[in-house]
Structure 1
Amino acid sequence: MTRPSVPAFATVPVTLIALAVAAVLTALSGRYGYHRDELYFRVAADHLAWGYTDQPPLTPLLAKISITLFGDNPMGLRVVATLSAALTVVVVALIARELAGERNAQIFAAVCTALSGFVLGTGHMVSTATFDLLAWMVIAFLALRLLRTNDPRWWIALGVTTGVALENKYLVVLPLAALLIAVLVTGPRSVLKTWHLPAGIAAAALIAAPNLIWQAANDWPQLIVAGGISEDDGTENRIMFVPLQIAQLSPFLLPVWIAGFLRLWRTPALRWSRPVALSYPILCVIVLATGGKSYYALPLLLVLVAAGTQPTLDWLHGGRQAVRRTVFAAAALLTAITSAAFTLPVLPESAVNLVLPVNAEQGEQIGWPELTRAVTTVWQQLPADDRARAVIFASNYGEAGALAKYGTDLPTAYSGHMSYADWPAPPDDHDGPVVVVTQERAPQYESHFGTCTEAARVDNGHDVDNEEQGAYVLVCTGPAKPWSQLWPDLRRYY
């Protein structure tokens, strides 16, 4: 069957929109400070490996490259995130083109992507979700190209892209599973009857093999992490799934992606793309069943947004154009304002509490120097003889990462959280006092360190209600047993 061709690509305007996104993200990349995950990636970048307790190796590797090329500061680290967001804008426009979107539809798709809170939020800082989003968009584009052309060679490109994506985050298997189910339900099943499919799977497996081998050799710690997330947050994730899907993408894009779903499902000329439409609700069912976070399904909404740009523009050219364009302009302006306020560091630190219910990650970029100063003050109050045998122990990787970055007058801070537990433990001859940083006091936890006394509380100076506000800095008498024996008991997977 002859497949439809696609319109010309709106190269110049789409590129300009992507550059505008890059400019905004660059201008704001130095505000607030590092996110707790970035502080972790920064240290992980000095311990490059084929795998980590909670993730594959790609994000720490990209962090290392960005720091090396652009500087060891938030702006330098975030260059790779900015580039990823800009490329995402371009790929979504290409998806709109693949779905028969004309020039203006492609431009509109790029604008919608540029204004999306999820894209801006993941583009602002380095996270596994940053590069996962770009990978999903490339996979969606290649899948659409495969379905539209019925050319089985696209399976190879899909396999290679999937393999690279698996070196960043395992979540990429979810949309692929959803798409496979959708193809089996709606067709065309002919795209599965080719040797290129197993060849693509083999390519993905070969690229992902180093990390998979590392995980297997270390008893699959990432599965323990995932299980802990589902157990701890599964119920809340299910309750908030739909509201956060809408809020994190942008409520004002809701009509666009609904129009996109209906267009893919109902338009005879796009019947070949129906599996892509069906894959979104299938993916939602999978995420809800496993208790995953709402953003696990968000990337596919951008595909539906790309599909919905053409019918949205057609609606704008319908009756009462002046009214419709006024509504459209107001919606675009509100989208830009709310997306920036909720995902970018544009508010004063003192106002960040307003957005934390929707995006708690804003608060996690504030207060790390203040935490370090509190620990430094306590450390310097220890007698000199005690400091020679003392250890600083942080309850989570954000605290440990902050002390590594800002604690110029401090020794190495240790932690049992995630891959920090795999890096060197304190030497056994450091049997003196332990300065413990912890979000909450827990007698069972503190019993590992003898008798503990509160020495300070953390105050970020802006009354931001983040996870470290009010954290405790304790001085404990010493490890309950040698560190080499104690260390396995201090490992935390979530």
Structure 2
Amino acid sequence: MTATRPSVPAFAAVPVYAVAGVVAVVLTALSGRYGYHRDELYFMVAGQHLDWGYVDQPPLTPLIARISTEVFGNTPMGLRVLSTVASAITIVVVALIAREFGSERRGQLLAAICAAVSGFVLGVGHLVSTATYDLLAWMLIALFTIKLLRTTDSRWWLALGLTAGIALENKYLVVLPIGALLIAVLIVGPRSVLRSWWLLAGVAVAGIVALPNVLWQFQHDWPQLTVAGGISEDDGTENRIMFIPLQILQLSPFLVPVWVAGFRRMWRMPWARSVTLAYPLLCVVVLAVGGKSYYALPLLLVLVAAGVEPVLAWRRSVVAVGLALTALTSALFTLPVLPASAVDFVIPVNKEQGEQIGWQEMTTAVADVWNRIPSEQRGSATIFTGNYGEAGALRRFGPSHGLPPAYSGHMSFADWERPPDSNTGPVLLVEQERTPTFEAHFRDCEQVSTIDNIVSNDEDGTALVLCDSPGAPWSTLWPDLRRYY
């Protein structure tokens, strides 16, 4: 089909690229300030075991982590280069979405600035996470969907299919916004875009791109479903309680008037009503399954992009103050601008700040206990950790302390390696919390040290427990030591 609606304004390339460039410079300058996040430590090890899938995720983010460290160096700054690039592109895409809603140069620039100072964009841009690339994919899907609805040109289904297929190789959450958008189109239209062979072509493209990981999950009995079920069971109630407050806080309270204005404006556009309706539909689904609040946040950026046009009519001083406060609070709560010793101030709002601190100190503490083991016993001794962050940190920093590879039964660490059965000597356990049922697999366990971090993160108070030996050969114990969440 051909376009049936007016063409969009010219793209304000120079100012929008300038905003994205400033954010890229800021993220780069701060990228090495604290240290690796626990998930990043896991992704780096996963990147050394490239596969078409892992028990808790598809392969794209570990692949990107591998590429980034190989090209730019195995440092927090080197690891995060491609995340910075992805966030800069996300800002550009938000401006392009504003353009689709008819915004001229000033509106596109304002949309880019709103995205650039939002807490969610800065937070995921600072780290390597599945959410970083998920956000970019969602924004592209939103852009192509809006183009499809605005022009009724069904060929955009191909772009949607390709983007969705790539996104599925990063995280399965992409099915949520696509599902919400399809349901919304069925409810409020325009349904004509669904009556096209291009839709089937797009679905086929998405399926072909996503097929390798789907086959991997099938061959391994769908472990991702086990992981997702465990997360919902553990955190579902808390996620539901905090959903609405975090929708406001994680993007920025100061951007609420912008996305409310965007919601109202889009609802008055008959062709855009389905995109408007998709956000509350998505919120209902996320609440029902007990998902995390950020699962619905990307669609709020679409509402922000639509809301910049009415905001241009507001008093400039009010808008400027709002954006300045947004930038200040977002930087404070999502970027490593505070001294590490002061991070406890922001952890109640953004715990990910604290998860970047203390890994080298933890490794030093583990090394101190390891060195207490008689030298003649270390050859058959084992370091076993309770989670992938601890194991990843010891894999990254342990060699400089003379430590052997650490093992873990957490997530895909359980698949990559297990201790050899010849390791019949002492076992050094790294446990966030001492667990009798866990320690029952080992003989004569005694806590010999405690991790004392400068911040109250998940590893603060972690117990270092020294056991005489495993209770059975590692090959026998291994299935019982596996953890999916």
Render the CA deviation track for 1:215-267: whole Å, top value 9, x for unaligned.
0100111111110111011111000000001000000000000000000002x
Superposed, 1:232-311 pairs within 5 Å as 232-266=234-268, 270-311=269-310
1:392 paired with 2:394, answer no
- The equivalent residue for 1:342 is 333
Deviation track 1:52-86 (CA, whole Å, cap 9, x = no partner) reads 01000000000011001100000000001100100
Equivalent-residue separation in structure 2 for 1:375 and 1:112 (angstroms): 44
CA positional deviation for 1:326:
2.3
Distance 2:84 2:235 in 1: 29
What CA distance in whole angstroms lies between the structure 2 residues aligned with 1:451 and 1:271?
A: 70
SS in 2 for 1:473: strand
Deviations 1:80-122 (A, max 9, x none): 1100100000000000001111110000000000000000000
Cα displacement (A) at 1:325: 2.4
- Taking the aligned partners of 1:478 and 1:214, their CA distance within structure 2 comes to 35
Helix, strand or coil: the match of 1:386?
A: helix
Work out the number of aligned pairs and report it.
Answer: 481
- Secondary structure of 1:402 counterpart: helix
* In structure 2, C-alpha distance between the alignment counterparts of 1:9 and 1:271, rounded to whole Å: 24
How does the TM-score come out when normalised to structure 2? 0.98
Give, in whole Å, the separation in 2 of the partners of 1:189 and 1:285: 22
Which residue, out of 3, 6, 26, partners 1:4?
6
Divergent runs of 4+, >3 A: none
Match of residue 476, structure 1, among 441, 447, 467:
467
Letter in 1 for 2:361: E
Q: Give a deviation string over 1:119-155, Cα, whole Å, max 9, x none.
A: 0000001000000000000000000000011011110
How far did 1:450 drift?
Answer: 1.4
Match of 1:450 in 2: 443
Deviations 1:352-378 (A, max 9, x none): 111111100000000000110010000
Amino acid aligned to 1:16: A
What is the DSSP-based 3-state SS (H/G/I as helix, E as strand, rest coil) of the residue aligned with 2:412?
helix
Once residues 102 and 424 of structure 1 are traced to their aligned partners in structure 2, the CA distance between those partners, rounded to angstroms, is: 56
CA distance in structure 2 between the partners assigned to 1:327 and 1:244 by the alignment: 24
Listed one character per residue, the Cα deviations across residues 264-298 of structure 1 (whole Å, up to 9, x for unaligned) are 002xxx32111100000000000000000000000
1:77 is aligned to: 79
Looking at structure 2, the residues matched to 263 and 479 of structure 1 have their Cα atoms a distance apart, in angstroms, of 64
Residue matched to 1:379: 370
CA RMSD of aligned residues (A): 0.7
Matches within 5 A, 1:18-417: 18-266=20-268, 270-314=269-313, 316=314, 324-408=315-399, 409-417=402-410
One-letter amino acid of the structure 2 residue matched with residue 307 of structure 1: A
Query: Structure 1 residue 478: deviation in Å?
Result: 1.0
Residue of structure 1 in register with 2:413 after alignment: 420
**1:398 Cα deviation after fit:** 0.2
In the alignment, the residues of structure 2 paired with residue 351 and residue 467 of structure 1 have an alpha-carbon distance, to the nearest angstrom, of: 16
Q: CA deviation at 1:451?
A: 1.6
How many Å separate the matches in 1 of 2:183 and 2:349? 32
The DSSP-based 3-state class of the residue aligned with 1:407 is helix
Equivalent residue number for residue 321 of structure 1:
none
Which amino acid in 2 is paired with 1:334?
L
* Partners of 1:442 and 1:331 in 2: CA distance: 48
The whole-number CA distance in structure 1 between the counterparts of 2:118 and 2:435 is: 40
Alignment-mate amino acid for residue 111 of structure 1: I
Deviation at 1:306, TM superposition (A): 0.1
Alignment correspondent of 2:16:
14
- For 1:340 and 1:394, the matched residues in 2 are separated by 33
Q: CA deviation at 1:2?
A: 2.2
Partner of 2:423: 430
Gaps of 5+ in 2: none
Q: Deviations over 1:409-432 (max 9, x none)?
A: 100100000000001110001011
State the distance in 2 between where 1:63 and 1:26 align.
16
1:329 Cα deviation from its structure 2 partner: 1.8
Q: Give the aligned residue type for 1:287.
A: V
Residue in structure 2 matched with residue 320 of structure 1 by the alignment: none
CA distance in 2, matches of 1:357, 1:281: 26
Displacement, 1:199? 1.1
Paired residue type of 1:383: P
Q: Secondary structure at the match of 1:455?
A: strand
Return the letter of the residue paired with 2:378. Answer: R
One-letter code aligned to 1:306: A
**What percentage of aligned pairs have identical amino acids?**
66
